[in-house]
Amino acid sequence: MAMSEWIAGAPMRRTFAALAVALAFALAPAARAQQGQEDPFNGQFGSIEVAMGPRQAAEQEKLFNEALAGLAAQRPGHADVYVIAAAFWSDPVFENEARQGAEILAQRLGAQGRTLILTEGVGTSERHYPAATPFHLNAAIGRVGQMIDPNEDLVVLFLTSHGNRDGSIAIRDQNRMGGALRPVHLRDALAEAGIRTRVVIVSACFAGAFIAPLMDDNTIVLTAASPTRTSFGCQPNREWTYFGDALLSHSVSKGAGLVAAFDQATTLISQWEREQHLEPSNPQKYVGSRAAALLTRVERSVQ
């Protein structure tokens, strides 16, 4: 049925218009915050979503269920690492970064078979990964939380997308879905799932906002920018953002530990920004002592 026929009746026109407004609201949270508009989720984690077609929806559920079922079990007495990588925007650079970043982290931390990738796809191309929806992210965190031993295992989250001035990560699947992941959403999800020791890597503008809500002795947070600065390199045709490229491709993949790699990455990013006459993004880090000790033990065991 053509859309013009579907919205021909006045009630349908009102329904469609309301959906369009709600979706537009979800796709631009920073602009809305500046205008003082109300949050339709009352601070909760969610999105406005137009349903996929039946075949695509069925394929998505198959991909997601297989991804969860394929996670290897935790080994008692062994410090296992689980990696969740999520690209929350449907430009190719973010899926490329999530995919390649997950591969590097899995290899460097011995997380092969314990790595899950979620993305918003690449335009209208065929999808190869489960969609990075709020439901899938929370379900992935919940499933990993069920599998780990919180006293001995480490969970690494690598999140990449555009960032909003309010400190949230933008979620956008073209014009089909929109929303935002705020730092408190991630903090609360990890706490509810029982994920105690974690590394959170956020490749987005204004990502430094994730540090304060997450910081404790059991957490490491590495971000692409300070809470007030943009980061760079998110053009759709790139393979990596500046932060993902410097941290993972240039440093971790060559053997550097994550924390040392962050320090190397900040130097490289500063060089790139000076060459391009860009305002410094000022990547930020917080390193909790217990998380650092476990991460170091894991990295040494994989060498």
According to DSSP, the residues that pair with 201 across neighbouring strands are 158, 222
Pairing mode, if any, of strands 81-87 and 177-181? unpaired
Residue among 25, 51, 48 at smallest CA distance from 164: 25
The answer to whether residue 174 sits within a structural domain is: yes
Mean pLDDT (whole number) for 38-53: 87
Please write the tens of the pLDDT for every residue from 130-144.
999 999 999 999 999
Which CATH number fits the domain that encloses residue 64? Answer: 3.40.50.1460
Residue 1, domain member (yes or no):
no
Looking only at the bridges linking them, the beta strands covering 154-160 and 219-223 are unpaired
Percent of the chain with pLDDT over 90: 82
pLDDT of residue 42: 84
pTM, to two decimals: 0.88
| Total number of domains in the chain | 1
In a domain? residue 115: yes
Tokens of 284: 């930020």
The arithmetic mean of pLDDT across residues 96-125, rounded, is: 94
Within a domain: 59: yes
pLDDT at 4 over 70: no
Q: In which domain, by residue range, is 274 found?
A: 11-302
Residue 173 lies in a domain: yes
The per-residue b/e assignment along 191-207, b for 16 or more CB within 10 angstroms, e otherwise, is eebebbbbbbbbbbbbb
User: Is 71 part of any domain?
Assistant: yes
User: Comparing C-alpha atoms, which of 227, 212, 231, 237 is closest to residue 272?
Assistant: 231
Decide if 4 is inside a domain.
no
pLDDT at position 39 is: 72
Domain membership of residue 210 (yes or no) is yes
pLDDT tens for 253-288 read 999 999 999 999 999 999 999 999 999 999 999 999
